[in-house]
Amino acid sequence: MELPSLAAFADPSLTACCAVVYVVWPLASGRHKARILIAKSRMTPKKGIAVPQAETCGVVVICRLVVLASLHLARQIKRISIFTNSECVVSAIQKDGHTILPYCQARVSEVTKHREDLAKDGCDVEEVLNFPAEDSLDDFGTR
């Protein structure tokens, strides 16, 4: 049997953040079977947080859940895919960090460190990708 993959989705908003990690098993028929492995929702602070900060925190939460899931699964993970509906965060992760505000830079650094640590364990960690909000699989946690 082939190794499973993890697909992680983060949906941050100004009121809440939701993160869902799915384990995806390849089937002999060539199809895939996905099940929710772990999920977390968190309320954002009532005051003092801007949209980029909330979105960055959402990606941090999903990266922490992916690390937790990969540590406790009985099988090795083949690939990890992380998705967010924030183009802002995806761009920040791809930049060199000189033009990002300190609050967001600290969280982007944490995301980068988690991704590097997961890659050291022999897992194929894909780039953080943008997933359009209307197609997101974790919208129920923030709506």
What is the pLDDT at residue 25? 93
The radius of gyration of the chain from alpha carbons, rounded to an integer in Å, stands at 15
What does the pLDDT read at residue 7?
93
**Closest to 107 (Cα-Cα) out of 22, 10, 20:** 10
Provide block-wise average pLDDT over 10 residues at a time, the chain (143 residues).
Answer: 88 84 92 93 78 84 92 88 86 72 83 89 86 58 49
Phi, psi of 53 (to 5 degrees): -65, -45
**Structure confidence by residue, pLDDT tens digits, 73-91:** 888 889 999 998 888 888 8
C-alpha–C-alpha distance, residues 74 and 71, integer Å: 8
| Secondary structure class of 9 (helix, strand, coil) | strand
Q: What is the pLDDT of residue 139?
A: 52
Quickly list DSSP for 26-78: E-TTS-EEEEEEEEEEEEPPSSS--HHHHHHHHHHHHHHHHHHHHHH-SS--S
